[in-house]
């Protein structure tokens, strides 16, 4: 069956308004992220190759998590291939929405990212996609600097 959401404040005495945790955070994209988002502003994509095992990380990192070696950055096209997708119909608060969300494997790397699919009538596994970037003055240094991926 389905549990109906009720207003718990009406059920018994609680201090009015409840409590909030009033904190906010300044997040850093780190040494690797800094380089990645700087290049993205120039419309370029980079990945990182482990100097020891050759594993190609995307998004780039400064070290390899499997052998703790340093990595070197190299340029990639930014194009990729859809490996899995979902069509989201409800948001976190259960309001209606519609968005195609995909797991995209980036060409020339061993890495995948989560991103949106836009300008697509249909989506399927194996579909080739390429990134659409925001305008430089709208970029904020997060993954949303890529607006979405669209079919090639």
Partner 1 sequence: MEVEVIKGLKFHKKQDVAIVGAGMTAFKRRMLETGKELSYYAVKQALEEAGLDIKDVEMVVLGSAPDAFDGISLKEEYLLEGAGGCDRPYMRYFVGGGTAVFAPIAGYWHVASGLADVCLVVCEEKMSCCQPHPQSAFKYIWDPILDRPLKPNLIWIFALEMRRYMHVNNVKHEDIALVSVKNKANALDHPCSHVAGKITVEDVLNSEPMALPVRRLDVSPPSDGAAALVMVAPHIARQLTDDPVWVTGVGWNLDTTHWTNRDLYFPRYTAEAARMAYRMAHITDPRKQIDVAEPYDPFDYKELHHMEGLGLAKKGEAPILTKEGVTARDGDLPVCPSGGLLGVGNPISAAMGVKVCEIYWQLAYRAGKRQVAKEVTTGICQAWGDLMQIGTVMVMSNKR
State the residues that interact with partner 1 by CB under 8 A. 15, 19, 21-34, 61-63, 65-68
Q: Cα–Cα distance between 145 and 139 in angstroms, integer?
A: 5
What's the 3-state SS for 49-61?
A: EECCCCCEECCCC
Q: Which is nearer to partner 1, 57 or 148 (CB)?
A: 57
- Supply the minimum distance, in Å, between the C-beta of residue 56 and partner 1: 15
- Supply the minimum distance, in Å, between the C-beta of residue 85 and partner 1: 24
Q: Which is nearer to partner 1, 40 or 81 (CB)?
A: 40
- Supply the minimum distance, in Å, between the C-beta of residue 104 and partner 1: 20
- 70: which DSSP letter? B
Q: Which residue bears the tokens 């949303």?
A: 144
Residue 94 Ramachandran class (φ > 0 left, ψ -120 to 50 alpha, else beta): left
Q: Which is nearer to partner 1, 8 or 19 (CB)?
A: 19
Q: Which is nearer to partner 1, 31 or 89 (CB)?
A: 31
Q: Cα–Cα distance between 78 and 115 in angstroms, integer?
A: 12
- Supply the minimum distance, in Å, between the C-beta of residue 15 and partner 1: 7
Kindly report the number of other CB atoms within 10 A of residue 112's CB atom.
Answer: 18
């Amino acid at each position: 069956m389905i549990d109906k959401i009720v207003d718990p404040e009406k059920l018994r005495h609680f201090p009015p308004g409840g409590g909030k945790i009033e904190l906010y955070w300044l997040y850093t994209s780190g040494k690797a992220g800094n380089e990645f988002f700087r290049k993205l502003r120039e419309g370029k994509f980079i990945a990182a190759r482990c100097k020891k095992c050759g594993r190609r990380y995307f998004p780039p990192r400064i070290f390899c998590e499997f052998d703790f070696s340093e990595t070197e950055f190299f340029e990639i096209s930014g194009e990729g291939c859809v490996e899995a997708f979902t069509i989201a119909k409800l948001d976190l608060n259960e309001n209606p929405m519609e968005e195609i969300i995909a797991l995209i494997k980036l060409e020339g790397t061993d890495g995948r990212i989560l991103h949106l699919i836009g300008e697509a009538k249909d989506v399927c596994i194996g579909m080739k996609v390429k990134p659409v970037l925001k305008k430089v003055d709208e970029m904020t240094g997060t993954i949303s600097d890529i607006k979405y991926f669209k079919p090639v």
